[in-house]
Amino acid sequence: MSDNYITEVDILDEAKDCFLTYASEVLTDRAIPAAEDGLLSSQRKILWTMEDVLKMNNNSKTKKCNALVGSTLSTAYFHGDASCYGVLCKMAQEYLMRYPLIHGQGSLGTQEDNSLVASSRYTEAKPSVFTDLMMIDYKKHPVPTKETYNGEYQEPVVLPALFPNALCNGRQAIGISMAHSSAPHNLTEVIEGIIAYIQNPDIDIKGLMEYIKGPDFPLGGEVINKKDIYQAFATGKSSVSLKVRGDYTIDGNTITFITIPYRTYRNKIKEQLEKNVEMFEKALEDFSDKSNLGQNKLVFEAKSGCVNTLLNLLFKYTDLQTTISYNMNFIVDGTPKLCSIKDLIVAYVTHQQQVMINVAQTDL
């Protein structure tokens, strides 16, 4: 072989360049959600396959989840069926998604234990009304597309996303050297905030917070340190985690939690009670879990005169008080960016303007 085909390179420089290229691809194409539609690549592939390839919508009959997973694997999803089904389940879980993107039938997870998911052959699903909004005018080429991994289809780079999913649904994701964490917000408040920005592009974070008050959790729960919401909205990252408590009532010596904090599960709370039994025995008389599907109800009987003591112990030693943090790294125009709440509104409005232009050009 001629020496012309051999190039000498420093192995450290080559390894660095290769790793940076790999890390960039992981972040931009898989691990971090896009600001325009708020979706991870895996979520987008599932929703696009259901709506565009399988011609489903919210008015369709549900299909078996193993059929939906198989179709997604055959069109665009290049990982395994188990991970694909896991992504599908999370988009249907009403305790994780403030506005679920998939309407599911069967055991797709509960707040008792998120691993309690039935096999995909026993469950069914279809797109929710919010996914229909995400796909409006898709046939009119409103967004750029790219080849799927097998070259058979053209999948969307982002969805048209009339529904402001990036702002309304919280999510957690992790990539190489970068992670994402965001909380859900109320759709009505978000729309009012978007309208306020359109009417006054110079509006500041305090102005937006007159409309978007803070996180709005799927099944309730209260942020204790509300003053720290401003920094999270202004910078996209909260240096002080927001403390979230479940909603509860007190009747005599009985404390009843009717919700538990966002992203917490009852089985973990029970484990924490057992682990700290010596701490609780001085104030806790009895405990019972009267929850049912879709409704939390944890009943604690306090010893006489120990209601406040028991309440403080529950908040200290269990997930009935927990923390959430904002770390809103999104992909904006193909590049990772830490986004404030206003940055996300700007990205949404800019995206919708381009979608409208593209649809109009197709109509012409």
Cβ atoms within 10 A of the Cβ of 8, count?
4
- 3-state secondary structure (DSSP) of residue 289: strand
- Cα dihedral 298→302→307→309 (10° resolution): -100
Q: What local confidence, expressed as pLDDT, does residue 23 receive? A: 67
pLDDT per 10-residue tile (average), the chain, 364 residues: 72 79 67 92 96 96 97 92 95 94 94 90 97 96 93 94 96 83 95 97 96 93 89 89 91 94 94 94 94 89 94 95 92 90 97 97 95
Integer Cα distance of 341 and 193 in angstroms: 10
Tell me, what's the pLDDT at 28?
A: 65
Catalytic residue list contains 211: no
DSSP 77: -
Query: CB-hemisphere CA count at 13 Å for 159?
Result: 30
Element housing 68 (H / E): helix 65-75
Q: What is the pLDDT of residue 293?
A: 77
Give the three-class secondary structure for 348: helix
The number of C-alpha atoms within 13 Å of 227 and in the hemisphere containing its C-beta is 0
What is the pTM (predicted TM-score) of this model?
A: 0.90
Q: Which of 5, 77, 99, 122 is catalytic?
A: 122
Structure tokens at 93: 């879980």
pLDDT score for 177: 72
Cβ burial, residue 4 (10 Å; 0-12/13-18/19+): exposed
